Amino acid sequence: MKSVSAKQLAELVGGKLLGDETKMVTGVSSLKDATPDQVSFVGNKKYQSQLETTKAQVVLVCEELEDEPLNGRTFIVCESVDLAFSKVIMVFAPPAPTYPSGVHPSAVVSSSAVIGSNVHIGPCAVIADQAVIGDNTVIGAGSYIGHESKIGANCFISPNVTVMYRCCIGNRAILHPGVVVGGDGFGFVPGPRGIIKIPQTGIVQIDDDVEIGANTTIDRARFGKTWIKTGVKIDNQVMIAHNVVIGECSLLVAQSGIAGSAELGRGVILAAKSGVNGHITLGDGVQVAGTSGVVKSLPAGAIALGTPAESQREFMTRWTLPKRVEKLSKKIEELESKLKELKG
């Protein structure tokens, strides 16, 4: 069991240490569940009350809580508690699984596929004709890499991932289990004899350093490409339709969805279960609150709430209006009562 002192943790995260620097910890946990030999954290002052009941003796705290530690505890004051605690977690994390280079006997690899050096191809994986796999990439068990697809170097493709034909994935990408890249876009036209399918002839392009959560789907373009740019992070069960463009370093949280041909700028955040209408543009840095539905284009830096989504000022005005009307009604009743008394 690994044992680390409070002083060592403070040095690791670059935090200010308050209290006994010699206290030893052997693991991490939440404030609620921590034992005395585990380190925990408080990232927001509103959780300060939990410090009174936690058993953790070493706690990473935000700068707002830079006070004398309670009950003899040791505090490590951090500028960014979340980032600091992530570093602490890695100290105690079990070693990651290793994936030796080579092709499992049950995998199917086309003779025309190009496989880089030090690549791991797991059990029952399929690498189709003319696919390209970059150096040091892991292809998990049961995954399918389609015809003429390209996977960059140092990627981790989890088990049961599907990358359809001609799609491209950059370097250092992480795709979690169940991701589907390059399924057909939802293209249909109602006609006199039924619903006619529109061919989806484009691709999906995913640039470097993108991470995609479990069971997320990214549709191929009707023509051209659906494009996920560098550094984008996508949560589980997100739906991205055909010809969507997502700007660099954007964040898409669980169950959000983007309709066809919408374009998101750099650093956009879509909170959980939010939706974006097709053929609109969200400027750089737009933030969309959870469960909100965006139906029109938004300028850079906008914050949108509600369905249909509106600005913070509009949302708060509408939300508080009934209470304001109720207060005004009571005030009118009081004035009417006083008028009656004066007339009497």
Amino acid at 74: T
Q: Would you tell me how many other CB atoms lie within 10 Å of the CB of residue 88?
A: 24
Q: In 134-160, which positions are buried (b, 16+ CB within 10 angstroms) versus exposed (e)?
A: bebbbbbbbbbbbbbbbbbbbbbbbbb
The separation between CA 275 and the C-alpha centre of its own chain, rounded to angstroms, equals 15
Sign, CA torsion 271/272/274/275: positive
| Nearest partner of 160 among 174, 144, 173, 145, judged by Cα | 144
**Ramachandran angles phi, psi of 335, nearest 5°:** -65, -40
Give CA–CA dist 192/109, Å, rounded.
45
Catalytic residue among 104, 120, 176, 242: 242
Amino acid at 314: E
Give CA–CA dist 165/291, Å, rounded.
33
- The question of whether 242 is a catalytic residue gets the answer yes
Strands (E), 72-187: 74-78, 102-103, 108-109, 114-115, 120-121, 126-127, 132-133, 138-139, 144-145, 150-151, 156-157, 162-163, 168-169, 174-175, 180-183
Residue written as token pair 């290793």: 98
Helix (H) / strand (E) element for 343: namely helix 312-343
For the record, the structure tokens of 1 come out as 């069991």
By annotation, the residues acting in catalysis are 242
